[in-house]
C-alpha cells in the first residue's frame, strides 16, 4: 500500500498505522506519476494531509490520472480536500479552523464507517479550509460544526476522503476506519509482521558497514538502546558505544546508563565526561534553535575525538526516529520545520562519520516493541522518552550548571511521584520545565522572588500527537508541595494543559 506524502507531519504515522493492520506500506512523494504507480501496482493508496492550503500558489497536487487507475484511494485531511478540488468539488476558505477534538455526525449511508461506530463521535481535526461541495458522483456521509463535508465517498470509483485524522489515537474510531478501508474496501490481506523490520535492517546495516567499525551515539534512552542492540546483532564486535555525559542529564542518569549497559549488553562502552565543555559552549546562548544546534554540533565533535584508537571507525549509529525527522523538516524537505533535533538539524556539515540510523522509519511504540523482540530488559525499553539535548531544552533561556541542578531536583520529584502513583506505563512523558521568569511568593513570613517550575505530563502512542495527562489533583498537590519545599529558589508550580497540536511536547 502506498502513502502519498504531501508534506504532512502525519505521513509516516499513517504508514505505521497501516503496518499495525499488518499491511506493508511505502511512502512516496506527491509528484509521483500515474505511470509510476501503475508499475508498482499497489493494492491501495492513501493521500496524506499537508501543511498548505489547496488554494495557495505552489500547493502540492496529484497527477489527475491516478484517480483513473482503479486503485482504491483514501484521502485524509489535505488529501480529502485535494480529491474534492481536483474532481470538481468545492473547497472553501473557512472563517475559522478546527484544531483538536471535534464532534462528527453521520449524515447518511457510509462505506467507511462500520455498523459498530456511533452515529455521533469525537474525531481529531487539524484544518482551516473546508470542503463545502462534493464532486459529481460523491456523497457527503458526515459533518462537523466547522466541516460541512467531513467525509465524502464514491463507491463506484473506489475513492473516499475524510477531513479528520483517523491515524491519531485521539480519533477513537480511526483505526476501524483504516481497517475497513484496507481490509474490506481495498481487499488488502493482513500478512505483514513487525519481525520483518529486524531482518530487513540487519541486512541493510551489514551492507552499509561491511567490515568497517561503527560507534553508537549512546544516550541511554530507549531509541539509542534499541539502535545499539540492533546494530550489535548485525555487526557484533565491530560496534563500540560512546556515552557522552553532557552534564544535561536527569538526576543520577549517567551512573545508571553506564552500569546498565555494561551489565546487560556486553558491548564496549566509552564514558566521556564532557559537562564542562557543554556549559562553556552554551554560555550566553538563549535562542532555542541555537541551543539545539550548539549541543548537536559539540556532541558530534566529541564523538569524532573519541574515534581515535577504534580502527576504521567510519560510521555513527544514532537512534533517530521518524518524528525527529518529520519535525526537522521531513525526509524530503516538504514537511514544515517545527524544531531541529540534535541528531538531525544539528549535525555539522563537515562531519566525517557516515550515519547509520536503523530506526528512522519507526515510531516510539514500534521501537519499544522492537526492543522487546531483541531481548532488551524492561528497564531500558520502558524508559520515558528524553530529548537528545537533554535538560538543555527544558530550561528556557541560558543553560548554566546552577539552573541544571535546580531542574534536576524538581524533575526527579515529578518522576518519583509518577512512579509512586503507578502511572509510568500510562504517561508518555512527565517532566519539569524551568522558565526564565520570576514571580512573587510568600514562604513563611517572608516575601520571595523566585522561579516557577512548570510540570508537563502527556499521554501519547507515537509523539506525533499528544494530550495533556489528567493527573489526579492530590498527585499534583504532592508534586507542588515537594518541589517548593525541597528545591531552593522555587516558589510556584504550574501545570501545562496544552495538547499537541497546537503545542509540542517539549518546551523548546
Evaluated on CA atoms 202, 17, 1, 7, the torsion sign reads negative
Which of 20, 30, 153, 165 is flagged as catalytic? 165
Neighbour order of strands in the sheet with 269-273: 269-273, 239-245, 213-218, 313-317, 354-356
H or E stretch covering 435: none
Which of 20, 30, 77, 342 is flagged as catalytic? 77
Q: Tell me whether residue 451 is one of the annotated catalytic residues.
A: no
Q: Tell me whether residue 77 is one of the annotated catalytic residues.
A: yes
What backbone phi and psi angles, to 5 degrees, belong to 291? Answer: -65, -45
Q: Give the C-alpha separation, 335 to 433, whole Å.
A: 28
**Count of Cβ atoms closer than 10 Å to residue 326 Cβ:** 24
Which of 20, 98, 153, 167 is flagged as catalytic? 167
Single out the residue of 193, 234, 190, 192 nearest to residue 213, CA to CA: 234
**Count of Cβ atoms closer than 10 Å to residue 258 Cβ:** 16
Q: Tell me whether residue 30 is one of the annotated catalytic residues.
A: no
DSSP string, 49-117: --SS-TTSTT-----GGGGGS---EEEETHHHHHHHHHTT-EEEPPSS-EEEEEEEEE-S--SSS-TTS
Single out the residue of 151, 207, 157 nearest to residue 174, CA to CA: 151
Across the strands, what pairs with 431? 456
CB contact at 8 A, 154 and 137? yes
Helix, strand or coil, per DSSP, at residue 262: helix
Residue 13 CB burial class (10 angstroms; 0-12, 13-18, ≥19):
buried
Cell 506527491 belongs to residue: 30
Rg (CA), the chain: 24
Catalytic residues: 77, 165, 167
Amino acid at each position: 500500500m502506498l502513502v502519498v506524502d504531501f508534506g504532512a507531519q502525519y505521513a509516516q504515522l499513517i504508514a505505521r498505522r497501516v503496518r499495525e493492520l499488518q499491511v506493508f506500506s511505502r511512502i512516496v512523494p506527491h509528484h509521483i506519476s500515474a505511470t509510476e504507480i501503475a508499475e508498482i501496482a499497489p493494492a491501495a493508496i492513501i493521500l496524506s494531509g499537508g501543511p498548505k492550503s489547496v488554494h495557495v500558489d505552489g500547493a502540492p497536487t496529484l497527477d489527475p490520472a491516478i484517480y483513473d487507475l482503479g486503485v482504491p484511494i483514501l484521502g485524509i485531511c489535505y488529501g480529502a480536500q485535494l480529491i474534492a478540488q481536483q474532481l470538481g468539488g468545492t473547497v472553501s476558505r473557512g472563517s475559522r479552523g478546527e484544531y483538536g477534538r471535534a464532534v462528527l455526525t453521520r449524515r447518511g449511508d457510509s462505506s467507511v464507517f462500520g455498523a459498530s461506530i456511533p452515529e455521533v463521535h469525537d474525531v481529531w481535526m487539524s484544518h482551516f479550509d473546508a470542503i463545502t461541495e462534493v464532486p459529481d458522483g460523491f456523497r457527503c456521509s458526515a459533518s462537523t460544526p466547522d466541516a460541512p463535508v467531513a467525509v465524502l465517498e464514491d463507491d463506484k470509483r473506489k475513492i473516499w476522503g475524510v477531513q479528520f485524522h483517523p491515524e491519531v489515537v485521539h480519533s477513537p474510531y480511526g483505526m476501524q476506519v483504516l481497517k475497513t478501508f484496507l481490509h474490506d474496501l481495498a481487499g488488502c490481506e493482513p500478512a505483514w509482521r513487525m519481525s520483518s523490520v529486524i531482518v530487513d535492517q540487519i541486512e541493510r546495516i551489514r551492507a552499509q558497514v561491511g567490515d568497517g567499525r561503527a560507534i553508537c551515539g549512546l544516550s541511554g534512552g530507549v531509541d539509542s538502546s534499541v539502535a545499539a542492540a540492533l546494530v550489535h546483532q548485525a555487526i557484533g564486535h565491530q560496534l563500540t558505544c560512546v556515552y557522552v555525559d553532557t552534564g544535561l542529564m536527569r538526576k543520577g542518569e549517567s551512573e545508571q546508563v553506564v552500569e546498565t549497559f555494561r551489565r546487560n549488553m556486553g558491548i564496549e562502552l566509552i564514558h566521556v565526561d564532557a559537562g564542562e565543555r557543554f556549559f562553556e559552549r552554551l554560555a550566553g546562548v538563549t535562542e532555542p534553535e541555537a541551543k539545539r544546534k550548539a549541543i548537536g554540533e559539540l556532541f558530534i565533535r566529541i564523538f569524532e575525538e573519541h574515534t581515535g584508537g577504534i580502527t576504521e571507525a567510519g560510521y555513527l549509529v544514532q537512534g533517530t526516529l521518524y518524528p525527529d525527522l518529520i519535525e526537522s523538516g521531513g525526509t524530503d524537505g516538504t514537511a514544515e520545520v517545527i524544531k531541529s533535533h540534535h541528531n538531525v538539524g544539528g549535525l555539522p556539515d563537515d562531519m566525517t562519520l557516515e550515519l547509520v540510523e536503523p530506526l528512522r522509519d519507526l515510531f516510539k511504540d514500534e521501537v519499544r516493541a522492537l526492543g522487546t523482540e531483541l531481548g532488551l530488559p524492561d528497564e531500558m525499553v520502558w524508559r520515558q522518552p528524553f530529548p537528545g539535548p537533554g535538560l538543555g531544552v527544558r530550561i528556557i533561556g541560558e543553560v548554566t550548571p546552577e539552573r541544571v541542578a535546580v531542574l534536576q531536583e524538581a524533575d526527579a520529584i515529578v518522576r518519583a511521584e509518577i512512579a509512586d502513583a503507578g502511572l509510568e506505563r500510562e504517561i508518555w512523558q512527565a517532566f519539569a520545565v524551568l522558565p526564565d521568569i520570576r514571580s512573587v511568593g510568600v514562604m513563611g513570613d517572608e516575601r520571595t522572588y523566585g522561579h516557577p517550575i512548570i510540570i508537563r505530563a502527556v499521554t501519547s502512542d507515537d509523539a506525533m500527537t499528544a494530550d495533556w495527562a489528567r493527573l489526579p489533583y492530590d498527585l499534583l498537590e504532592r508534586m507542588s508541595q515537594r518541589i517548593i519545599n525541597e528545591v531552593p529558589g522555587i516558589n510556584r508550580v504550574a501545570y501545562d494543559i496544552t495538547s499537541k497540536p497546537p503545542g509540542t511536547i517539549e518546551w523548546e
